[in-house]
Structure 1
Amino acid sequence: MIRFCTMRIRIESISISAGKENGDYILHQELPNGATLILLADGIGGLSLPWMASKIICEAISEYFVNTDVTDCTEHIRRSITYADNRLADSCKEKKCKMGVALLLAYISDDMLFYTSLGNVRLYYRDEQGDVIQLTNDNVIVQGIDTYLITRIAGRGFRTPIQVQYLPLNVGDSLLLCSDGYYTVQNIFDCFSCKDLPISPLIEDDSSVVRIKVI
């Protein structure tokens, strides 16, 4: 249980690998300023070491938030991702390979959610009335049976500015952070209301989900 101001949040998460290594990585922590950081990274399978890339990105963003003061949430999120991108670039150079990650970042401070998504990881929101909407867009191009990410973290900087959105939270609201290996096989509406987070018995892709409830 993590407290922030007069509200509390409950966080549950599951991540299951489809193979030997899990290319998904989840990190959530309470920061020194009392805010909560939640990260879901999905390493790109067509590149090298997806499991390592996801871990590098999440740990670098966490390190940036822990070691720097947050004054402007939006700018701080952008800088943390740039910091992580530079860290990944160093690792790619060291290992002489190409790595990449789709990332969903959620930052909860007081009663406000700040979030950004690069790639095809998704953030869903359900209000206290039970209405569900997808807050993020899939930054992808589909060509035949192949899907290509328009935006991602790959140690090469960013062509366009990172877009950070925000949303006020209320008691009774819920959030769902999902990798594509999860939302393509699950009923998202059921995932908000069921007691335990469902996982398909047949995993063809690394499958990860984080459920957050404001109570």
Structure 2
Amino acid sequence: MLIQQDIHPPVTSQQAGARTLTGGGGGVIARQQALALQMGSELDPGIKRGQEPNEDTLSVIRGEIPTTPSKPFVLLMVADGMGGQADGQEASRRAVQLLSAYVSDSLRSPQATPETFLPLLRAGVQYANRVLYQRNQEQCTNMGTTMTATLVVDATAYVAHVGDSRCYLYRESVGLSQLTQDHSLVAALAAAGIIRPEDIYTHPRRNLIYRCLGEKLSVEVDTSTVPLAAGDVLLLCSDGLWEMVRDPQIAAILASPTGDPSHTADALVQAALAGGGEDNISALVARVSDV
């Protein structure tokens, strides 16, 4: 894989080899099928939790699948920890490390094919869940985390998701699409018609989720695949962003003609801060373009 630019210095985990973004950053990576993926990120503790440990983790890893010819891949991840400040921070970071290592190791296999990408991504999330669950059992802790991960190979995004962090796709001809479903009480109530969709932002129990990593020995992982085209923009974010910034405003920011994903990520975080900044805020933006 040709890395044309690295804006943010890497922070490498010895266990996972993950590039963890603890602040803003980005880069441009050339990919096959005459497409390029340009990335930018921003993470902020928020206004109301600014003095507490940040429970969000953003991560990007890159590598090559040893096919003939080799194929570059990019794995984007956002995790939002819970279970007490220190435990929440550890849970999100550990989950990202575990998933990074699992996917990287699996993609090094000569048997890695497009048909295996989604199953291995799902298996990686389930593996991270088991490790966190076993840690909770052994140490009597209650750590947990959401996980939203997107693996990009060629012109396809493979998405795996647990919790209420989100993955969005912005496409000019369609607008903004939410690729993930929130595993939260308010989302279930809205889907059942018990509350209005707009009530999910103000409901007193809006922070309750019914699915996360670390709570049970096994976890159901939602997965999907999305074909990508030049001009598409992917956004992975925690609830600290989307609860403060409504979808129409997110769409307007992603549609900005400036095109710089680092600036886009910063604009999203600034909008969340302006909206109240009630939680940790993370935004990971990936823009697809012609080479």
Offset, 1:83: 1.4
Q: Is residue 37 of structure 2 the alignment partner of residue 9 of structure 1?
A: yes
C-alpha separation in 1, matches of 2:215 and 2:130: 6
Alignment partner, residue 121 of structure 1: 165
| Cα distance between partner residues in 2 of 1:180 and 1:45 | 16
C-alpha displacement of 1:102 = 1.0
Q: How far apart in 2 are the matches of 1:183 and 1:155?
A: 24
With structure 2 as the length reference, what TM-score do the two structures score? Answer: 0.68
Aligned to 1:204: 278
TM-superposed deviation, 1:169? 0.3
1:165 aligned partner, one-letter code: S
Answering whether residue 51 of structure 2 is matched by residue 22 of structure 1, we say no
Describe the superposition over 1:129-176 as per-residue Cα deviations: whole angstroms up to 9, x where unpaired. Answer: 3611111111111386123212211152335x4231001000111111
Match of 1:87 in 2: 131
Distance 1:122 1:45 in 2: 20
Give the letter aligned to residue 2 of structure 1. Answer: I
SS of structure 2 residue aligned to 1:21:
coil
The sequence identity of aligned pairs, in percent, is 23
Higher CA-based Rg: 2
Report the CA distance between 1:191 and its aligned residue: 2.5
**Equivalent in the alignment of 2:16:** none
Match of residue 254 from structure 2:
192
Structure with more of its chain in strand, by fraction: 1
Distance 2:85 2:122 in 1: 24
Asked whether 1:112 is paired with 2:171, we answer no
Q: Which residue of 1 aligns with 2:81?
A: 43
Provide the aligned length of Structure 1 versus Structure 2: 214
Structure 1 counterpart of 2:210, from 150, 168, 179: 150
Paired position in structure 2 for 1:32: 64
Match of 1:96 in 2: 140
Conservation of the 8 A alpha-carbon contact between 1:101 and 1:154 = yes
- Which structure has the highest helix share of the two? 2
Structure 1 SS opposite 2:90: helix
After the TM superposition, which parts of structure 1 deviate over 3 Å for at least 4 consecutive aligned residues?
45-48
2:233 to 154, 167, 174: 174
- Unaligned segments of structure 2, at least 5 residues: 1-27, 66-71, 190-202
How far, CA to CA, are the matches of 2:211 and 2:141 in structure 1?
19
**Structure 1 unpaired stretches of 5+:** none
One-letter identity of the residue aligned with 2:77: L
**TM-score w.r.t. structure 1 length?**
0.91
